[in-house]
Structure 1
Amino acid sequence: MRLSRPENFQPVDLAGIDLMDHGLFSQGDPHAAWALMREHDPVRWQNVGDELGFWSVTTFADGELVLRDHTRFTSQRGTMLFLLGKDDPARGRQMAATDPPQHSRMREPVQKALTNKAVERYRPAIQAEIRRVLAPALSDETFDFASSMMMLPMAAAGTMMGVPREYWPRLTELTAMSIAPEDPEFTTGDAKRTLELAHRELFAFFHDIVKVRRNDLGDDLISMLLSIDLDGRRPETGAILSNCYSLILGANVTTPYVPTGAMVEFTTTPVFEDWRANRATVHRTAIDETLRWASPANHFMRYALEDVELSGKLIRQGEAVVVWLGACNRDEKVFANPYEFDIRRKPNRHITFGVGSHYCVGHTVARLTMQILFDELIEHFEGFEITGPVEHLHSNFVAGIKHMPLRAQIRKESRHLYEAAVDEVAVPA
């Protein structure tokens, strides 16, 4: 999705905007539409066919309320637009599709396994994998930076879940099919069939892993899921599979599309040199800004449990409400100069990871991965040049760049690090 600024906004007629349209996010200008909505119609009804529809929420205050208040807005009927009008088959079994208090009982052990201290021990392994992902820059020729970044989530999630590396490419492909089933590059020709195929293969893969892991528990996330105590009982297999799917999907939604959004700024503004020169003081705020700027998870959906008024609009019980995170993270009432990529932005109350009880349980892993990646780019690379047109993902759920031809110059004294990484396999310390 184009990360446009007001001076580059395309003309928009809100009457003709269809936020269900995946093409809007690959070829259109959603930020221009969202800006108009925030100003004139911040809670706007969108018809979908003759019988369905949803409310679009584009301001920070309304979005935060919807995502935080599980007593009035439920996650259990589906959290993504492809489930609009359907019941989520994972409700009550998957953390993302379960409301408190059961959600809290499911989340607590996972959250304990993903504390900053717990994930920090994976730093050497994740760093080694990130160097493997960046190794194509060794040729000094153009390589596809965005395509390389799509392998980034498995560097963390694959390592922490104990998934053998030989499966990582196919799992990456399957999650891409899940988040962008209408993208010409990932579809089988029919979005519904693409989703079914991807889900079937992903669940079958994790079913086999879980079957083996039950008899040989290890020190990994899947073993931890198998060990959760839910009021004296272990989770059923379906719940384990749903949460494995949720964890790997969450990783693939966030991490690939943050660095590509930042790379556009690195190559068109002085921000890269600024970040490098002031790394000791701006690194933390800069990473938060990359997360706000990219807002890779495009939307989260909820259903109203009762009649609720938002920004003067009455939302009826049972109606779907969609919070557009990229819109909320550009709200002028919360973020000063929201269309400026400001690596010193503070405070930065972005909701890229959600808010409330459903705040992304894997945010520590995503932050560690981003920290390591940007450390690598800033410390070991001289500069970058985008050498051709970028291509955006054809998806209304994930905002990001899927292809970015890039020439990256590795520092001479750092080349050996990436040469060694190609042939080395790191394991958690």
Structure 2
Amino acid sequence: MTATAVPATGRCPFGFDAAASLDLIDPGLYAHRDPHPIWQALREHDPVHWQQAGPDLGFWSVTRYADVDHVLRRHDLFTSEEGSLLTLLGRGDPAGGRQIAVTDPPRHSQMRDRLQRAMTKRSLETHDGMIRAEIRQLLAAITDDTPVDVAALLTDLPMAVTGTLMAVPRADWPRLTRLTTMAIAPDDPEYALPGGPGETLREAHRELFAYFQDMLHDRRRAPGEDLISRLVGTEVDGRPLGSSEIVSNCYSLILGANTTTPHVPVGALAELDRSGGYRDWARRPDLLASGIEEALRWVSPANHFMRHATRDTEIAGVRIGAGDPVVAWLGSANRDERVFDRPHRFDVRRKPNRHIAFGAGPHYCIGHTVARATLRVLFAELFDRIESYKVTGEPQRLVSNFIAGYKHLTITARLREVVS
């Protein structure tokens, strides 16, 4: 490992206490504090920052847009196959080379192709009515002048879409939603098991993998047009994917959908309440698309992705040793003053908006079309239904260093009058 960049005094050169303020692994940082001032200081003073995480363990953090983009695009220099999340730091990822999210090209491209074709805009048009009906059913829980926890409500949003695309029975949607949240927020008291984060992760993984093993058995007996059946029919290097590869990719698909999409509208509603910008956006249907892109930039629900250097290289003049972990902070990149004018302002008119909330390069989120389609319908339905709202009570963020979002956000809404 490369030597730490933090001075021996234990204080960073720009005045933050390294131990208290720069533990970027700590899930509590993202739940109880605002990481953006820390990221801003890192971008300005220490954009390629080393954090020691143990006697023989540490990682580099890149916080500027250009460096994050570089790390994510250059799979030849920064591999995903050693683990893409900080929870795997120093342990490696057993799914490396077998799961799309942690497999490098060219094998990655072969694994991804059939799924990607099933999630194009044209393919999704056949599901538009279903998506709209599910969203309307969810939003029916928002009634006039009655407090409702929209964060809890919208946790069901992704399963309404991805669950259908994977042909997962509706009765199983709540269970899968909870298990995927346990997998990305094992430190959160609302999801943690008595044995702590380690037990929580193991149980979530055990149940999810067992569930999709059963689903795979059913699909092999009676294949259909769903995403699991497409994985069954996928060949890589001239051979079908094995059972463990299919199950691992089912896990990755459901995890990616369930743990990111709902946080975008919730985070946007929290900020629109603070800034007073809801009515302005709701009255401008022509700004629906640009506003959704701004919501994605603002929330950046996937907080980070980790890579490992395949050989000695440099980032912004800093030497990175072969094998060193490098963590790319998407939430920081999407507030980089070098790329975004007034980055700490939520601006639904923002153009251009080259955010990287879905990542960059070969691992650009496979479900981005599904996510955008879902968000378009959701915000359109919100604007049609809700005249105004106010956040009531104290919002609570998810205790996670991977997902940036709220687990509780209670609002009281005033509904629009229905003209008969």
Q: TM-score, normalised by structure 1?
A: 0.92
Is 1:259 aligned to residue 258 of structure 2?
A: no
CA contact (8 A) 2:391 2:409 kept: yes
Is 1:296 aligned to residue 337 of structure 2?
A: no
CA contact (8 A) 1:177 1:198 kept: yes
Deviation at 1:409, TM superposition (A): 2.6
Letter of the aligned partner of 1:291 in structure 2?
L
User: Aligned to 2:71, which of 66, 74, 88?
Assistant: 66
Hey, what does 1:26 align to over in structure 2?
31
Deviations 1:184-220 (A, max 9, x none): 0000031111000000000111111110111111121
CA contact (8 A) 1:183 1:393 kept: yes
Is 1:110 aligned to residue 115 of structure 2?
A: yes
Deviations 1:58-116 (A, max 9, x none): 00000000000000000000000000011211111100010000001111111111111
CA contact (8 A) 1:126 1:159 kept: no
CA contact (8 A) 2:36 2:332 kept: yes
SS in 2 for 1:254: coil
User: Aligned to 1:346, which of 343, 351, 354?
Assistant: 351
SS in 1 for 2:49: strand
Hey, what does 2:4 align to over in structure 1?
none
Deviations 1:378-414 (A, max 9, x none): 1221111111110001000101110011112332328
Hey, what does 1:229 align to over in structure 2?
235
Deviations 1:250-306 (A, max 9, x none): 1022211101111013222342222122212x1111110000000010000000001
Structure 2: 5+ residue runs without aligned partners? 1-14
CA contact (8 A) 1:266 1:384 kept: no
CA contact (8 A) 1:77 1:97 kept: yes
Is 1:212 aligned to residue 218 of structure 2?
A: yes
User: Aligned to 1:273, which of 269, 279, 291?
Assistant: 279
CA contact (8 A) 2:389 2:411 kept: yes
Name whichever of 354-363 and 232-241 sits farther off.
232-241
CA distance in 2, matches of 1:171, 1:59: 35
SS in 2 for 1:387: strand
Is 1:98 aligned to residue 103 of structure 2?
A: yes
User: Aligned to 1:308, which of 305, 309, 313?
Assistant: 313
CA distance in 1, matches of 2:326, 2:237: 32
Is 1:394 aligned to residue 405 of structure 2?
A: no
CA contact (8 A) 2:144 2:413 kept: no
CA contact (8 A) 1:287 1:371 kept: yes
Name whichever of 364-373 and 229-238 sits farther off.
229-238
Hey, what does 1:169 align to over in structure 2?
174
Hey, what does 2:10 align to over in structure 1?
none
Hey, what does 1:244 align to over in structure 2?
250
Letter of the aligned partner of 1:22 in structure 2?
P
SS in 1 for 2:413: strand
Deviation at 1:14, TM superposition (A): 4.4
CA distance in 1, matches of 2:187, 2:274: 30
CA contact (8 A) 1:182 1:394 kept: yes
Q: Percent identity?
A: 52
CA contact (8 A) 1:149 1:256 kept: yes
The two structures, once aligned, show a CA RMSD in angstroms of 1.4
Name whichever of 121-130 and 322-331 sits farther off.
121-130
Deviation at 1:359, TM superposition (A): 0.2
CA distance in 2, matches of 1:333, 1:166: 47
SS in 2 for 1:199: helix
CA contact (8 A) 1:12 1:32 kept: no
CA contact (8 A) 2:395 2:410 kept: yes
SS in 2 for 1:384: strand
CA distance in 1, matches of 2:355, 2:83: 23
Structure 1: 5+ residue runs without aligned partners? 1-10, 417-429
Hey, what does 2:375 align to over in structure 1?
370
Closer, same or farther in 2 for the Cα pair 1:12/1:413, shift >3 Å?
farther
CA contact (8 A) 2:78 2:307 kept: yes
Deviations 1:94-148 (A, max 9, x none): 0001000000111111111111111122111111111222222136411111001
Letter of the aligned partner of 2:100 in structure 1?
M
Name whichever of 300-309 and 375-384 sits farther off.
375-384
Hey, what does 1:43 align to over in structure 2?
48
SS in 2 for 1:78: coil
CA distance in 2, matches of 1:140, 1:166: 30
CA contact (8 A) 2:49 2:60 kept: yes
The aligned length equals 404
Hey, what does 1:419 align to over in structure 2?
none
Closer, same or farther in 2 for the Cα pair 1:63/1:389, shift >3 Å?
same
SS in 1 for 2:311: coil
Letter of the aligned partner of 2:380 in structure 1?
D
User: Aligned to 1:331, which of 329, 336, 342?
Assistant: 336
Closer, same or farther in 2 for the Cα pair 1:314/1:204, shift >3 Å?
same
User: Aligned to 1:135, which of 135, 140, 155?
Assistant: 140
Structure 1 segments of 4+ aligned residues over 3 angstroms from their partners = 11-16
Deviation at 1:247, TM superposition (A): 0.5
